[in-house]
Amino acid sequence: MDPNKLSSATERDKFEQYVRRLGIDHLCISKALTNLNSDEILKSALLKEEKCIIRFYAVSGFDMSSRDSGSASDTYLALECNGKKVDERDNYQLDEPNPDFYKVYDFEGHFPGSSPLNIQVWDYDAIFGDELVGETIIDLEDRYFTLDWVALKEKPIEYRQLYHPSSKMSQGVVKCWMEIIKVNDPSRVVIDENGEKSEEMPRIWDITPKPLYELEIRICVLNCKDIWMDAEGTCDTYFRGFFDTNEEIQETDTHFRCTDGKPDFEYRLVYNVKYPKKVSKFTLQGYDRDFFKSNEMFGEGTFELGDIMEDVSLIKAPLSMNKKYYEDVLKKKYPQMKLEFDSEDPNKFWVQLWAKNKKGKMEKRGKVAMKADIYPKDQAAKNPVGKARDNPNHSPTLPPPEGRLELSLNPLKMLNQLLPPAVKRKIMIALCCIAFCALFLMILPNLISAMISNAILGK
Ligand SMILES: [Ca+2]
Ligand SMILES: [Ca+2]
Ligand SMILES: [Ca+2]
């Protein structure tokens, strides 16, 4: 083994494999040898000019500051290295502070002597001229002569802050990574059986995003049990459901004055979703509607639908959350997600709601029976369903909910429905007291006369 060869990543890789075969990889010999020889390696690298490809992978951007009044920046990427400039002005993204890039750019350079790589994000303005959002500069020589960085087989993803000359504040973040590849690297040359020489170039990662697949997600909120009650012993229950609070949030109707912990909904929520998506976990939040204060969230439950969404986009056919899928796939993958399936209907599952109590401990706040069906958008369009309980009402057909408040002209009946049990109890106690007092007052004259006659007769 020639330790001088350890300056090449491929040679180091071979050496590490050799060390691993000997079972002494825990001794980190290659790193120690590299460190011992680092001065030599650096010296030879500095003396020998190498032509290289600088490969830059631009993934995405976050939180780009606005350079437009009243709207987000219309962002695009611009790069410059060793005199070569590229920009994506033609592909600017309208009002997009979190642009996706998913592109690879190659630049040529010589080491030592390469210029830095300049990465900029701009705001497109059709009339007044584009404005710089921010920039970041990568010192390529610093990378090329940092043996630890060179030794990394897969270069790390970087989150680089962008800065504008006018401010010390970050103007956004670019997610990216880069590689420096020697053009003529003898360690990459392989000789096949026929003695033919060829150079194995490092792979180019394909980071172009897959096209988005349109889905319709139908979620039914059926019935509940053990739902949390307020201090009065009632809950004006309704639910909010969403994947991401930045996206569409849908609500059920309200089951007013529920006093038995079993509000009924039979309510369909229908979401249009594009897969893959950042958040594929569905969140259901239970609320107590309040007319005088703000509505109070009493509990939250979640379940993951990403795997089913992926399968639907692959097989292009509808799938449901069901007992088999849960047992076979989801249970092992998401141990946190505990769904209980109905013994009769394998597509009906109970979601546990949780919330922190006053002591900060997680507490159970009731269970909700639900169904979730995922359709390819085109197939959903051929077989539409209504939201809530609207027509077409099928798969499943949702009946009117039970135990809801009945409108009545009888004020006593309305009062009976509206009053919470605690108040009703207080009224009953008050009524009993009044009845007792009335009874007492009625018998009081007789009592007094009896007492007087007893006193006179001296008994
Ligand atoms: Ca502007
Ligand atoms: Ca704009
Ligand atoms: Ca603009």
- Cα 74 to averaged position of ligand 3 atoms, centre (Å): 5
CATH number attached to the domain at 213-382: 2.60.40.150
**Ligand nearest to the CA of residue 71, numbered in listed order:** 2
Q: 271, 248 in Cβ contact below 8 A?
A: yes
For ligand 1, a single-atom ion, which residues have Cβ within 5 Å? 67-68, 123, 125, 131
Number of H helices, E strands in the chain: 11, 21
Note whether 50-199 and 213-382 share their fold: yes
Q: How far apart are the first and last CA of the chain?
A: 127
The DSSP output letter for 89 is G
Task: Enumerate the domain spans of the chain.
Answer: 1-48, 50-199, 213-382, 420-459
- Cα 92 to averaged position of ligand 1 atoms, centre (Å): 12
**What's residue 190's pLDDT?**
83
Structure confidence by residue, pLDDT tens digits, 47-75:
788 999 999 999 999 999 999 999 999 99
- Cα 64 to averaged position of ligand 2 atoms, centre (Å): 11
- pLDDT confidence of 29, banded at 50, 70, 90? low
Region 209-221 average pLDDT: 91
Distance CA 201, CA 185 (A): 9
**Ligand nearest to the CA of residue 70, numbered in listed order:** 2
Structure confidence by residue, pLDDT tens digits, 113-125:
999 999 999 999 9
Question: pTM of the prediction?
Answer: 0.58
- Cα 277 to averaged position of ligand 2 atoms, centre (Å): 24
- Cα 57 to averaged position of ligand 2 atoms, centre (Å): 25
- Cα 125 to averaged position of ligand 3 atoms, centre (Å): 4
- Cα 67 to averaged position of ligand 3 atoms, centre (Å): 6
Structure confidence by residue, pLDDT tens digits, 136-151:
999 999 999 888 898 8
Residues 6+ away with beta carbon under 8 Å from 22: none
Q: At what angle do helices 29-36 and 9-22 cross, to 10 degrees?
A: 140
Structure confidence by residue, pLDDT tens digits, 420-450:
777 778 888 888 888 888 888 888 888 888 8
CATH number attached to the domain at 50-199: 2.60.40.150
Which range, 170-174, 246-250, 274-278, 288-292, is most confident? 170-174
Residue type, 400: P
**Ligand nearest to the CA of residue 94, numbered in listed order:** 2
**Ligand nearest to the CA of residue 72, numbered in listed order:** 2
- Cα 215 to averaged position of ligand 2 atoms, centre (Å): 29
Beta bridge partners of 103: 58
- Cα 89 to averaged position of ligand 2 atoms, centre (Å): 14
Quote the strand ranges of 227-380, DSSP E.
235-242, 250-251, 255-258, 264-275, 281-288, 296-304, 319-320, 340-341, 349-356, 362-376
**3 has pLDDT over 60:** no
